[in-house]
Chains A and B, each alone.
Chain A
Amino acid sequence: MASLILRRPWEKLLAYVVLSITGFVMVFPFIYMVLSSLKPSTEVVQVPPTLWPSEIRWSNYVEVLNIVPLGTQLINTVIVTALVVLGWVITSVLAGYAFARLEFPGREFWFGAYLATLMVPFAVLIVPMYRLMLVFGWVDRLEALIIPWLFTAYGTFLLRQFFMSVPKDLEDAALIDGASHWGILFRIFLPLARPAIATLATFAFLYAWNSFLWPLIIISSPARKVVTQGLVDLQALYAARVDLIMAGSTLAILPTLIVFLFAQRYFIEGIATSGLAGR
């Protein structure tokens, strides 16, 4: 596409100035965070602030992993995230395929009804969900962070849209050969759906890794908390140790940045094509 708005050289220059300043505002906090996480505890509260650490303190990371205890909480977060990602992918592939390629009474209605659940704010569900967890005996247990969150209307929508775009000849040929729908799904559709699954998995990862409100309500033992809770505890209990808080934040943010680096395409395409994110 030709340049539509920026024609003169000074306009391009202005555009780069705007982009660079915005880019700086978006990225500098992260750089400052990492540098601060390596400073001695007196240097992070120093006025005027320093940029480069006067001495590099890797020991901050060792310390932060053992207090709160953030190390255990990171492991909990990894477990919860891995299972939620797996759950999202499995339930969305199955439901998305059924809604896209199988015919059954009321299909469009049920799909619409499922999408409509996205309208209900999570706030409406937290109190009864807490009581439900009491009944199940899952209060203060990792089950509460995993089992209720294995399904997603968003993911079903994403996979349904993808499966609908696959030409019908493929499955007709397989049906004539006597294949079952389960076989067609796993042998023909699943390999084709890899990009859509990658998009869904990146969203599921973000959602599970960053979740905060529900763990805050349901988990109270330090050894069973997730990393977002650990960070808030760190802030509450060690407010004066900004170096440790920055080390903790770095540990919580780094995995998402690494995933983003590798899966950038899926993130951005996922948002651009579906415009949806979240549950």
Chain B
Amino acid sequence: MANQAPAALPAPTARRLSGRRVRQWIDAFGMLLPTILGVLIFFLVPLAISFYLSFTDARLFGDPNLVGLNNYQRALSDPTFYRAMWNTAAFSLVTLIVSTVPALLLAVILNERIAGRTFFRAVFFIPVVASVVGVTLLWRYLLNVDFGFVNYAIRLLGFEPIPWLTRPEWGLASVILVFSWKTIGYNMVIFLAGLQGVPPQLYEAASLDGASRWQQFLYITVPMLSPTTFFVLVTTLINCLQVFDVPIALGLTRSNTVGPADSMLTIVPLLWREAFIGGRMGYASALAWLLFVIILLLTFIQFRMSRRWVHYE
């Protein structure tokens, strides 16, 4: 930190150092310039415009007029909005469990010294890297009610075939299935990294004290892993609330419903449909800000609740 105490140095040195400091500011500005321009033009400006549009009757083209809180009031009295909210909530809640609990279980197994652990880790990660749209269309085939492989397997086991993509009551379950299948490997890798950060001495000490393996898991692994668990829950929830690709690729129909009777319609697909099929850009902007506020609120609540169960060293 040579340039932090110029006052103590003789005058000529101090002047040279401050010249060097200004040089550094200029260099920093130059290096940050592409990012500054990007954030300004493609983030801050759109953010401000979006906020403004949410109070207007903007359509696809033409000048918007201010309409006060109309868009927000309209959303709160629109049954389709409630339907999308309900679908998003149900989808997020179930996915939060289905995509994390198996991930933790797999991570615990792969944290053991067993042969083939890097192989399995890679295998579980394959769905994470594959194109969402590609794998969703693949699942659209696998889940086909008549000739899909999943129903073939279900019939082999002696059960009735399931109308995954053709009946409203199964629509959301299909989205959860595909989304979780794709997310488990990602959550597993994060859990695994967390598990590898737990010092082995803790287990050795507990074991000498006669703690059973279950007790070790409960009183060492779970608390030591809680920051990781918290991270996984927060990011999974944020991703779930913004889900778009899976419901659209799995359920978009010719009449622009998302799944039979809009059973797969979540918030972002609704927003997309309002803005770019219906041309209601002002209304869609209001939906976006409602979603933003919901995400902020839920994240805040998760942080508040985390004080009770997350243990940082």
Contact = CB atoms under 8 A, between A and B. Distances in A.
A125 interface: yes
Given A22-B106, A102-B24, A129-B42, A123 B271 contact: yes
Given A122-B242, A271-B189, A151 B38 contact: yes
B112 A3 contact: yes
A103 B42 contact: no
B189 A272 contact: yes
Contact of A12 (B114, B138, B287): B114
Interface string B131-156: 11111011111100011010010000
A10 interface: no
A4 interface: yes
B83 to A, nearest CB: 17
B167 interface: no
Interface string A161-187: 000000000001000000011100100
A98 B47 contact: no
B76 interface: no
A85 to B, nearest CB: 15
A123 B275 CA distance: 11
Nearest to B38: A151
Contact of A26 (B41, B124, B134, B295): B124
Interface in B1-47: 2-3, 21, 23-25, 27-32, 34-35, 38-39, 41-43, 45-47
Contacts of A104: 24-25, 28-29
B45 A128 contact: yes
A59 interface: no
B113 A2 contact: yes
Contact of A127 (B129, B217, B248, B284): B284
Contacts of A210: 131-133
B152 A117 contact: no
A61 interface: no
A90 interface: yes
Contacts of B112: 3-6, 15
B45 A271 contact: no
A48 B53 CA distance: 53
B101 interface: no
A213 B200 contact: no
Given A94-B32, A123-B242, A124-B47, A49 B213 contact: no
Interface string A206-224: 1001101100110000000
B122 interface: yes
B291 interface: yes
A32 B142 contact: yes
Contacts of B272: 126, 213, 216-217
Interface in A240-270: 242, 245-246, 248-250, 252-253, 256-257, 259-260, 264, 267-268
Contact of B235 (A46, A236, A248, A275): A275
B181 A25 contact: yes
B252 interface: yes
B15 to A, nearest CB: 17
Interface residues of B, number: 102
A132 B137 contact: no
A67 to B, nearest CB: 15
Q: Is the interface of B mostly helix, strand, loop or mixed?
A: helix
Contact of B35 (A2, A114, A122): A114
Contacts of B292: 120-121, 123-124
Given A15-B114, A228-B131, A232-B248, A128 B2 contact: no
Interface in A73-128: 90-91, 94-95, 97-99, 102-105, 107, 110, 114, 117, 119-128
B133 A228 contact: yes
**Interface range on chain A: under 10, 10 to 19, 20 to 34, or 35 or more?**
35 or more
B259 interface: no
Contact of A256 (B39, B130, B200): B130
Contacts of B271: 123, 126
Contact of A132 (B45, B106, B149): B45
Contact of A121 (B46, B252, B291): B291
Nearest to B253: A236
Given A26-B185, A30-B126, A132-B45, A121 B288 contact: yes
Contact of B190 (A45, A48, A131, A272): A272
B50 A128 contact: yes
A123 B267 contact: yes
Contacts of B244: 212-213
Contact of B50 (A3, A124, A209): A124
A253 B124 contact: no
A48 B152 CA distance: 7
Contact of B135 (A29, A209, A277): A29
Interface in A20-64: 22-23, 25-27, 29-30, 32-33, 36, 44-49
Contacts of A3: 112-114
B308 interface: no
Given A95-B32, A267-B129, A271-B193, 5 more contacts: A103-B28, A128-B285, A151-B39, A172-B2, A213-B272
18 contacts: A5-B109, A22-B106, A23-B120, A26-B185, A44-B147, A47-B152, A49-B149, A95-B32, A119-B295, A124-B285, A130-B275, A132-B46, A181-B23, A209-B131, A235-B249, A236-B254, A249-B134, A264-B125
